[in-house]
Amino acid sequence: MTAVDAKVRLAHAERFGSEAKTYSAPARVNLIGEHTDYTGGLVMPMAIGFCTVAGISRRNDGKAVFYSASYKEAREFDIAFLGKDPRGGWSDYPAGVLWSLKRVGIDPRGFNMSIDGDVPLGAGLSSSASLEVAVAVAILSQMDLKLPLEELAPLCRAAENEYVGAKCGIMDQFIVAGGVEHRAMMLDCRSLKYELLPLPSNVRVVIANSMVKHSVATGDYGNRRDEVEAGQDVLRRERPGIELLRDATIEDLEACRGKMSAESFRRCRHIITENRRVLEAREALLAGDMKRFGELMAAAHASMRDDFAASCAEVDALVEIAGRQPGCFGARITGGGFGGCTVNVVKADDAEAFVEQVKLEYERAVGIKADCFVSSPSDGALALAAKGGVA
């Protein structure tokens, strides 16, 4: 039992006077394939060992009561009358999941749920998807229901897109629900087909938090999406056969350059080149060529910074410092951008020294203490539930 799991059980017993069954969902980091998911592109994330835990017990009066053990706040909903009525704040995520489940005819009789987690907030590690998926798996499990990954992830995404009002893609919910220990996942965000890929045992994934806060719910992410979608609309209109940006080549984009804004052109160029980098990164992983994998990460970072304009000075400094360290194959910004974390692939033997040196130099350069975590791919919520417990 993890510390978070124990906290949730205790909070639940104190708050509701009953024993909770607990379900856990991890966080995620994206190795490569950024801002490609909402135009049907390719991503390569992995689940990581932070977690959100949802503890659930029955009630039979048609009410859903969510208790956040970290905010020490409860929110109550009448399940039969639950409409799309976001109140702002943490409870929109679990209420949105309930709303999304109800929309496909999944109608629980009533429950108390306590929630807590240790996913750093605003760090770009998918605390929201982790929360949504933990809540969904808890409600479904209580009803003895199981949904396949290809249905569960879109339901959770719909909660975030339509109830919470954040325009995220499918990557986070998919990997948080479907991750597998020791494996990264290459996901085709159009077909939802995926491939699990082993990481060499002699490398570590180091996540470094710049401590600059980021949120998918704020304007920057949505602005980028609007710029991308405007470019995609032009391509769809001008080039037969293009449905999503995923279908476009650089030549298609060049041919339409005069018909879209300079911003849309650069945002789309990032996505088209990034899809190609993901495919090459898969090849490199399968060949065990971490040097090539690292070069692709560096190119992906430059593209996020220059074409997508979604990095910031602190994160650029963190990537630059990491890239100079012994044993570092590659470093890049990860997640939605505008702050948050970098992901670094480092030789296992050098990982400890890497963390020390990066922290030291980052603080010296920008005056902020970075948090660093050495991670390996962990199980997603479905694998954890199938194993009958939490990580």
| Residue positions annotated with a catalytic role | 172
The per-residue b/e assignment along 101-125, b for 16 or more CB within 10 angstroms, e otherwise, is beeeebebebbbbbbbbbbbebbbb
Q: How far apart are the first and last CA of the chain?
A: 7
307 is a site residue for ligand GLA (CB under 6 A): no
What residue ranges in the chain does DSSP mark as E strands?
A: 21-32, 42-58, 63-68, 73-78, 111-117, 183-188, 194-198, 203-209, 328-333, 341-347, 371-375
Q: According to CB under 6 A, which one of 11, 20, 27, 38 is a site residue for ligand GLA?
A: 38
Verify binding: residue 41, ligand GLA, rule CB under 6 A: no
Q: How far is the CB of 43 from ligand GLA (least distance, A)?
A: 7
> Which among 330, 317, 329 is positioned nearest to 358, based on CA atoms?
317
Nearest distance from residue 125's CB to ligand GLA, in Å?
9
Question: DSSP assignment, residue 376?
Answer: -
**What are the strands, taking DSSP E only, across 163-275?**
183-188, 194-198, 203-209
User: In the complex with ligand GLA, which residue's Cβ is closer, 26 or 55?
Assistant: 26
Q: Is 100 exposed, middle or buried (0-12, 13-18, 19+ CB in 10 A)?
A: buried
For ligand GLA, the closer of residues 62 and 122 by Cβ is: 122
Q: Which of residues 163-222 bind ligand GLA (CB under 6 A)?
A: 168-169, 171-172, 216
Please state whether beta strands 63-68 and 111-117 pair in parallel, antiparallel, or not at all (unpaired). Answer: parallel
* Identified binder of ligand GLA from the candidate list 336, 339, 377, 380, rule CB under 6 A: 336
259 CA to centre of own chain: 33
Of 62 and 222, CB closest to ligand GLA = 222
Position 37 contacts ligand GLA (CB under 6 A): yes
Residues 216-275 that bind ligand GLA (CB under 6 A): 216
Rounded to a whole number of angstroms, the minimum distance from the CB of residue 30 to ligand GLA is 6
Q: Which stretch binds ligand GLA (CB under 6 A): 31-39, 193-201, 285-293, 322-330?
A: 31-39
Q: How far is the CB of 360 from ligand GLA (least distance, A)?
A: 29
Residue 28 · residue 183 · CB < 8 Å = no
The token pair at 11 is 């909070």
Distances from the Cα of 241 to the Cαs of 39, 148, 163, 247, in angstroms?
15, 31, 33, 8
Provide the minimum distance between the beta carbon of 269 and ligand GLA in the complex, in angstroms, as a whole number. Answer: 16
Q: Which two tokens stand for residue 68?
A: 């956040």
Nearer to ligand GLA, 96 or 335 (CB): 335
Any bridge partners for residue 330, and if so which? 345
> Minimum distance between the CB of residue 364 and ligand GLA, rounded to whole angstroms?
30
Residue 35 touching ligand GLA (CB under 6 A): yes
Return the number of the residue (27 or 140) whose C-beta is nearest ligand GLA. Answer: 27
Torsion of CA 85, 126, 314, 305, to 10 degrees: -90
* Nearest to ligand GLA of 11, 25 (CB atom): 25
Task: Provide, rounded to whole angstroms, the least separation between the CB of residue 363 and ligand GLA.
Answer: 26
Q: Which stretch binds ligand GLA (CB under 6 A): 8-16, 27-35, 50-58, 257-265?
A: 27-35
**Residue 45 interacting with ligand GLA (CB under 6 A):** no
The dihedral sign for the CA sequence 15, 19, 21, 22:
positive
The residues that bridge with 345 in the sheet, in sequence order, are 205, 330
Find the binder of ligand GLA among 55, 117, 335, 339 (CB under 6 A).
335
Single out the residue of 5, 34, 116, 307 in contact with ligand GLA (rule: CB under 6 A).
34
Region 89-108 residues binding ligand GLA, contact defined as CB under 6 A: none
Task: Tell me whether residue 25 or residue 113 sits nearer to ligand GLA (CB atom).
Answer: 25
Give the interface with ligand GLA as residue ranges (CB under 6 A). Answer: 30, 34-35, 37-38, 168-169, 171-172, 216, 335-336
